[in-house]
Structure 1
């Protein structure tokens, strides 16, 4: 297989497919391919999350302005797209709980951020425990932030609908295809697939999720960054707990500078309930099992020791947190007791079935610090989206439109029609909302 493409997108998650979606409407004559190493799109993180469509209350409007903006606009876009495609979407809200004055101050900060990011008074409310008790009698806390404008969906189904629209518009999808080598030859990229086939591209967009840092490094980009991987595990709750609460419940994170989340009580769009995730350090973006982690242990350890990650893994607090997460993986009661702190009615013995695990890859800079925001790196022939984590799925559509618009403005991959009708949206209107 030898083929020349105008553009190749690496990564068939919700981000890569969303980028392909807008390009498919804006570039009718260019040859564009999206490469996914798994059997189908949304096979990994995009199909293994909780399905939450997050309101922008968690994001500092100054430091995380892009995530806040994409989250705010993404909610409305996914709601509209789900309705158009007859896919599940439920405005069910979430409750974030605090157990003490320190946690309450965090909720006050979230309330302020949410309103700065566009939420209205009827979208979000701070309440003390007695007020919450009237709504959710089983929740135990000192105060809570009720975020009414928060939703649930199935991102795997959404991603599959998005890629169908893309391929219907002429995008070529290559699944079960792994990028094994990338070289620049004159004014083109030579991309080796599965160590045996080669294709050529004028331009590459790297949206490879857990492998995005590795792809960037292959292309000589973002050498000062490395990544670490965390497996998020879930436990399924039995049907008798289906009516325990009306909505999902989160607790204020104890260590916000680290990618360790206290497990949540999650109500999915289909009504099933789960506890999770934790954040167990693993050695591969596909480290769901021991075999994969053993295989990647030495290469990943060497990579971390020769980068800024060395400072993180030798940090005492990080080590303590990592050990705590590993223990939560080995001990069901340790993980579930974290949720029993605010839902004491849960009986550990009745939780017997594990849910689907997913893996989050977090980027560490040369100083050994976890990078809190998305990283965008580019040169004249490539664009790299690194560290694209939560609320990545929520904001995938508007963020992808932003990326495509950026490429247009830079003249790097000029679209034929910068104001096309892209499904239910006019492209220029999306960009206007992102700029407002």
Structure 2
């Protein structure tokens, strides 16, 4: 198969972004077009420094998403790929399963609707009653639950590192600590200029996560959206509580709300975490509570779409902020399904930041969003389950190359 990179650049391919999606894309390009030249550019000193390294490590099943969406299709394929890749590369993972717990009649009704969606998505799922829930998880309370056996846990930074090693072994070059200042495209190549000089490539693929909209604007794409950072705060339970549950415990999601809610998540390292909430952030990469970046804050507060989101979800936003400031409010979310938890159980843990694309009219983009120029592809929105779906996303991007060259 001939590389579509063209002859106008020093490299056939350039990938911007060293998260799991960017590294998987580099891996897929070199697998599909063996012998091609490729450079991956990452501004941080290590790969997977942001969303890849700040999530709960869940291998998602695809249960939540509309059956005809990219999310649903790519998540199912991604879960299978992740487990196979981990097995082949001695990366620890555990298929612990997930329980979505309904705590009242309204949630139970939503649970049954989600069961039907799961069947339509081809996801193995079991509906259980309160007695069976108590038998399986004695410390969890609910009127019923859905059990998804395929859900697992893993460390996605280890997956990213293994992919990167293979990229280098196939001849790819990885440039760390390299910021991108400008992207210039002509009929034969794309030039990426940054802190360590310039590189030229026949084809550019940008997987920039929290900086996706800014990279798109550097490339001359007219973006009618903004990446809005939502800070997800986690707590860790004490070691004596690490065996509180055997499976992941999630609330039944409310379709009127943009995020999944606070859940109990065993980690592959043996911890048990609680979270995340979802608080509007004023710093795209500020993980400490109260972090403010002037440029990021101006981007958020000046964008009409964010103001519309605030109006549409005012009550939810107030509740999430209150729960961020006061541990008791956060605890109340957990005690709906795990009543024995106390404030003393909530120990500090690292936060994550979700890159959420918001349109000018206030619509939160829930599916993957991709834009093209003649010689580039930009991944503009890759929310959860992007880590699970990384390789199928990469395959999808590579399939698009015929349309950009």
The list of structure 1 runs, each at least 4 consecutive aligned residues, that deviate by more than 4 angstroms after superposition, is none
Question: Following the alignment from structure 2 to structure 1, what is the Cα–Cα distance between the partners of residues 301 and 230?
Answer: 17
Please state how far the C-alpha of 1:16 moved relative to its aligned partner. Answer: 0.4
Determine whether 1:348 maps to 2:317. no
| Contact preservation (8 Å) 2:206, 2:215 | yes
Q: What's the counterpart of residue 428 of structure 1?
A: none
| Contact preservation (8 Å) 2:284, 2:296 | no
Q: What's the counterpart of residue 285 of structure 1?
A: 284
Change (3 A) 1:343 1:390: same
Q: How do 1:300-315 and structure 2 match up within 5 A?
A: 300-301=299-300, 303-305=302-304, 308-313=305-310, 315=311
What is the aligned counterpart of 1:399 among 389, 393, 398?
Answer: 393
**Residues 65-101 of structure 1 deviation map (CA, whole Å, 9 limit, x = unaligned):** x211111111121111111111111110010011222
Q: CA RMSD in A?
A: 1.9
Question: Following the alignment from structure 2 to structure 1, what is the Cα–Cα distance between the partners of residues 352 and 222?
Answer: 25
The worse-fitting range, judged by mean Cα deviation, of 128-137 and 108-117 is 108-117
Change (3 A) 1:209 1:298: closer
Q: Partner of 1:105: helix, strand, or coil?
A: helix
| Contact preservation (8 Å) 1:248, 1:266 | yes
| Contact preservation (8 Å) 2:192, 2:200 | yes
Question: Following the alignment from structure 1 to structure 2, what is the Cα–Cα distance between the partners of residues 290 and 135?
Answer: 36
Q: What's the counterpart of residue 120 of structure 2?
A: 116
The worse-fitting range, judged by mean Cα deviation, of 280-289 and 157-166 is 280-289
What's the TM-score once normalised by structure 2's chain length? 0.93
Question: Following the alignment from structure 2 to structure 1, what is the Cα–Cα distance between the partners of residues 217 and 122?
Answer: 37
Q: What's the counterpart of residue 101 of structure 1?
A: 105
Q: Partner of 1:38: helix, strand, or coil?
A: coil
| Contact preservation (8 Å) 1:28, 1:170 | no
| Contact preservation (8 Å) 1:227, 1:309 | no
Determine whether 1:363 maps to 2:362. no
Please state how far the C-alpha of 1:8 moved relative to its aligned partner. Answer: 1.1
Question: Following the alignment from structure 1 to structure 2, what is the Cα–Cα distance between the partners of residues 32 and 234?
Answer: 37
Q: Partner of 1:349: helix, strand, or coil?
A: helix
Please state how far the C-alpha of 1:4 moved relative to its aligned partner. Answer: 2.7
**Residues 350-371 of structure 1 deviation map (CA, whole Å, 9 limit, x = unaligned):** 33x3111111011112321111
Determine whether 1:237 maps to 2:237. yes
Please state how far the C-alpha of 1:297 moved relative to its aligned partner. Answer: 5.0
Question: Following the alignment from structure 1 to structure 2, what is the Cα–Cα distance between the partners of residues 12 and 241?
Answer: 35
Question: Following the alignment from structure 1 to structure 2, what is the Cα–Cα distance between the partners of residues 29 and 130?
Answer: 58
Gap runs ≥5 in structure 1: 413-436
Q: What's the counterpart of residue 15 of structure 1?
A: 21
What is the aligned counterpart of 1:334 among 329, 334, 337?
Answer: 329
What's the TM-score once normalised by structure 1's chain length? 0.86
| Contact preservation (8 Å) 1:231, 1:280 | yes
Determine whether 1:54 maps to 2:60. yes
Q: What's the counterpart of residue 275 of structure 1?
A: 274
Q: What's the counterpart of residue 410 of structure 1?
A: 403
| Contact preservation (8 Å) 1:361, 1:387 | yes
Please state how far the C-alpha of 1:303 moved relative to its aligned partner. Answer: 4.4
Please state how far the C-alpha of 1:112 moved relative to its aligned partner. Answer: 1.7
Change (3 A) 1:371 1:28: same
Question: Following the alignment from structure 1 to structure 2, what is the Cα–Cα distance between the partners of residues 363 and 131?
Answer: 39
Change (3 A) 1:135 1:91: same
Q: Partner of 1:293: helix, strand, or coil?
A: coil
Question: Following the alignment from structure 1 to structure 2, what is the Cα–Cα distance between the partners of residues 71 and 33?
Answer: 27
Question: Following the alignment from structure 1 to structure 2, what is the Cα–Cα distance between the partners of residues 376 and 94?
Answer: 30
Question: Following the alignment from structure 1 to structure 2, what is the Cα–Cα distance between the partners of residues 288 and 391?
Answer: 20
Determine whether 1:388 maps to 2:394. no
| Contact preservation (8 Å) 1:222, 1:377 | no
The worse-fitting range, judged by mean Cα deviation, of 12-21 and 224-233 is 224-233
Please state how far the C-alpha of 1:325 moved relative to its aligned partner. Answer: 1.6
Please state how far the C-alpha of 1:302 moved relative to its aligned partner. Answer: 5.5
Q: Partner of 1:364: helix, strand, or coil?
A: strand
Question: Following the alignment from structure 2 to structure 1, what is the Cα–Cα distance between the partners of residues 48 and 296?
Answer: 25
Q: Partner of 1:300: helix, strand, or coil?
A: helix
Q: How do 1:39-188 and structure 2 match up within 5 A?
A: 39-62=45-68, 64=69, 66-119=70-123, 123-185=124-186, 187-188=188-189
Determine whether 1:35 maps to 2:41. yes
Question: Following the alignment from structure 2 to structure 1, what is the Cα–Cα distance between the partners of residues 316 and 363?
Answer: 15
Please state how far the C-alpha of 1:405 moved relative to its aligned partner. Answer: 2.0
**Residues 44-77 of structure 1 deviation map (CA, whole Å, 9 limit, x = unaligned):** 1101111111112111103x2x211111111121
Question: Following the alignment from structure 2 to structure 1, what is the Cα–Cα distance between the partners of residues 87 and 350?
Answer: 26
Q: How do 1:176-215 and structure 2 match up within 5 A?
A: 176-185=177-186, 187-194=188-195, 197-215=197-215
